[in-house]
Amino acid sequence: MLRRRIRAAGALRDRAPGGRLRAMSIDDEYDLEALRAAGRVVRATLDAMRDAVGPGISTARLDAIAGEVMRVHGARSAPRLVYDFPGETCISVNDEIVHGIPSPARVLADGDLVKLDVTVEKDGFMADAAITCAVGRSSERARQLVACAESAFRRAMREVRPGRCVCDIGGAVEGEVLRRGFNVVRTLTGHGIGRTIHENPMVPNWYDPTARARLTEGLVITVEPIIAMGSGESYEADDGWTIRTLDGSLAAHFEHTLVVTKGAPLLLTAA
């Protein structure tokens, strides 16, 4: 089944005809503006979901809020469009790392950690971002985990330059995560994006010397630290979508879609 081919990427993985992954680089101002527009919808969707997060709300309700924002902006859920994912967005709680299915039965409680992962398609272009939110009162260690995912992203951004290797991004993420006492989930990575959800190159969150793809000006990628409080080992739940930590520990996820430039990378999904 298509969903069985998603293990390598931080969201769901798509393959081009013939099994070769595509890659997208900005070719002109039209491409850039179209990607910016998709990125703005992702940002608006995440903002609306984050504002609604609190004890007592179901993940299905958060997903409905996301769907309405997308419709208002003339966009569609990319996971639903490409993979027939059973939700507008992926919403993962506590030990659920990624690809959690929204449900009216999953009601957020005080102290939960919820990952909101939004990928939209607008006018043939796609953008992707994720945040982790603490629900109500959370433990100090849980807040440190959330801060670590964002800090690892910021550290990795320094490596997003033409000529750098994707393994440099992974090394930066891993170094920051280990320094703070957490672990990277090694079954999940960042990826290229643009015309579809997953394109070349794969962007690991650890130093992988075999990942030698070079960044080029105009390349569109996601950088997305996906980390755990425990070992970082994971498994697929019985629903066929949700990835969970093997030891039941909390997980966090932070992601943006970036364009590689000669200077600092352009964040398409940032505020």
- List pLDDT tens digits, range 228-237: 999 999 999 9
* Residue 23 or 61, more confident: 61
Question: Each residue of 179-201: pLDDT tens digit?
Answer: 999 999 999 999 999 999 999 99
Any domain includes 14: no
Any domain includes 17: no
Average pLDDT over residues 76-85: 98
Tokens 């170094």: give the residue.
Answer: 175
Any domain includes 18: no
Any domain includes 7: no
Residues composing the chain: 271
Domain count, the chain: 1
CATH number at residue 76: 3.90.230.10
Q: How far apart are CA 202 and CA 192, in angstroms?
A: 7
Any domain includes 13: no
* Residue 94 or 14, more confident: 94
In the prediction, which pLDDT does 21 show?
59
Any domain includes 136: yes
| Stated pTM of the model | 0.93
Question: Each residue of 237-261: pLDDT tens digit?
Answer: 999 999 999 999 999 999 999 999 9
Q: Which domain holds residue 254?
A: 23-266
Looking at residue 201, its amino acid is: P
| Mean model confidence pLDDT for the chain | 93
Any domain includes 144: yes
- What sign results for the dihedral spanned by CA atoms 120, 34, 131, 185? positive
- Contact (CB, 8 A) for 249 and 229: yes
Any domain includes 42: yes
Q: Is the pLDDT reported for residue 15 higher than 90?
A: no
